[in-house]
Amino acid sequence: MPLDISAIKLDPAMLDLPWEVPLEEWPEKHLAALPRGISRHVVRFVRFQGAVIAIKEISEPLARREFQTLRNLRRLDLPTVEPLAVVSGRTDADGEPLDACLVTRHLKFSLPYRAVFSQRMRPDTARRTLDALAVLLVRLHLAGCFWGDVSLSNTLFRRDAGDFAAYLVDAETAELHPQLSPGQREHDLFVAHGNIAGELMDLEAAGALDEGEDPIEIANRIMHRYDLLWNELTGEERFERGDRWRVDERMRRLNNLGFDVDELEMTTDIDGAYIRIQPKVVDAGHASRRLMRLTGLDVEENQSRRLLNDLDSYRAATDRLEDDEELVAHDWLSRVYEPVTRTVPRELRSKLEPAELFHEILEHRWYLSERVQHDVDLVEAVQDYVATVLPQKPDEISILGVDTEEIPIRAQLAE
């Protein structure tokens, strides 16, 4: 039987790899020394055309099924490895048949969970790593993907330019449906809890889990985070155009769950708007870097997150979700942020630095809106804050050593 390579885009150099040799026996000169996770099949990382590919030896029907499943998942923009080819018709030197191989592109900067937990990590980073798995499972379920074998071993964790996310790496048992039933989701969660607890027990036995951490409790926590996130994301709400404060409240709840809101999708109709929020778990500094890129404001991480939430709400409220993000950010800076900080009387500007002042005004506006159950105008919120809250605060300039009056203000108050 001749060698058959089914590829999305065939590179002739793939024919030069030693397919006639069982994958477990491939020469070292072809292999890349990268950390591998636990797999029921033989998996090797191979140097190929200046890059690295992952090759898994598996039966042909399973290889072709997984190849197609991964392609479909990527069409849905879900975080998975990229399938490249299926190699079948392999025989050894004696003419004996060998299993087929599934070829995928190695995910740069990614690590299996054992490599992640073998490093010394801050507790917050470890929590975010596990949160990333909960986010991945929610995203798959929202897209109608039944995983079938949820585990840390079938996941890769990646840090890249500040992002922190989990990627599905093994789709042997995955199935795509128009929508998952409650029973399918519950089965995935049941399997996930057992697999994750078992894998963490292995880490505990190897001394790679922090002392005092309970594998069962950690698995329970991941399931709890999944439930919180699923309920928050699938709960439908309709907002009138004047209810921007409720959009802020929705993002606030996700922030309180520990998730940064990196994407905000809203569809509008005659009566109001339906909001669907897609979270992304990000590492420290993501918000401040994004705000700096969009507006030039260099502020602290929590302040950046709050300002970005307001920027995203501004995009939704002004029906500019399809506009270029940088253009909208420029308008928000000149029409919202700078006018608000400039509206504060000069004698009170030394109370707080501008970003903290703007944050507190947004907080004050939210509380006022919650109290009256409708949007309070920003100008009204500024006036009330300046009259009732700001005068009671100490001058922060004496602590910071910075004269806030020297900060340039480039925009006029928007009409």
Please indicate whether the domains covering 4-106 and 111-234 agree at the CATH topology level. no
pLDDT (0 to 100) of residue 408: 37
User: What confidence tier does 220 reach under pLDDT thresholds 50, 70, 90?
Assistant: very high
As a whole number, mean pLDDT of residues 116-128 equals 63
User: What integer is the mean pLDDT of 19-32?
Assistant: 92
How confident is residue 398, by pLDDT bands cut at 50, 70 and 90? very low
Question: In the chain, what are the domain boundaries?
Answer: 4-106, 111-234, 238-406
- Percent of the chain past pLDDT 70, that is, above it, reads 79
Task: Provide the pLDDT confidence category of residue 208 given band limits of 50, 70 and 90.
Answer: confident
pLDDT at 205 over 70: yes
Q: What is the pLDDT of residue 411?
A: 33
The pLDDT, as a whole number, for residue 404 is 33
Three-state secondary structure string covering the chain:
CCCEEEECCCCHHHHHCCCCCCHHHCCHHHECCCCCCCCCCCEEEEEECCEEEEEEEECHHHHHHHHHHHHHHHHCCCCECEEEEEEECCECCCCCECCEEEEEECCCCEEEHHHHHCCCCCHHHHHHHHHHHHHHHHHHHHCCEECCCCCCCCEEEEEECCEEEEEECCCCCCEECCCCCHHHHHHHHHHHHHHHHHHHHHHHHCCCCCCCCCHHHHHHHHHHHHHHHHHHHHCCCEECCCCHHHHHHHHHHHHHCCCCCCEEEEEECCCCEEEEEECCCECCCHHHHHHHHHHCCCCCHHHHHHHHHHHHHHHHHCCCCCCCHHHHHHHHHHHHHHHHHHHCCHHHCCCCCHHHHHHHHHHHHHHHHHHHCCCCCHHHHHHHHHHHCHHHCCCCHHHHCCCHHHCCCCCCCCC
Lowest-confidence region among 100-109, 257-266, 328-337? 257-266
Q: Domain 4-106 class?
A: alpha beta
- Read off the pLDDT of each residue in 140-144 and give the average, rounded to a whole number: 92
Q: What is the pLDDT of residue 261?
A: 63
Of the candidates 322, 320, 317, 314, the one whose C-alpha atom is nearest the C-alpha of residue 340 is 314
**Other beta carbons within 10 Å of 14:** 17
pTM, 2 dp: 0.65
Q: Write the pLDDT tens digit of every residue in 269-293.
A: 655 555 555 555 555 567 788 888 8
Q: How much is the average pLDDT of 352-366?
A: 86
Q: What is the pLDDT of residues 292-319, one digit of tens each?
A: 889 988 877 778 888 998 898 888 888 8
Determine the Cα–Cα distance for residues 100 and 98; give it in Å rounded to an integer: 7
CATH 2.60.40 assigned to domain 111-234? The reply is: no
In Å, how far are 6, 98, 153 from 95, measured between CA atoms? Answer: 21, 9, 34
The answer to whether residue 256 scores a pLDDT higher than 90 is: no
| More confident call, 140 vs 257 | 140
Residue 241 has pLDDT above 50, yes or no: yes
Note the pLDDT of residue 176.
96
What's the chain's average pLDDT?
81
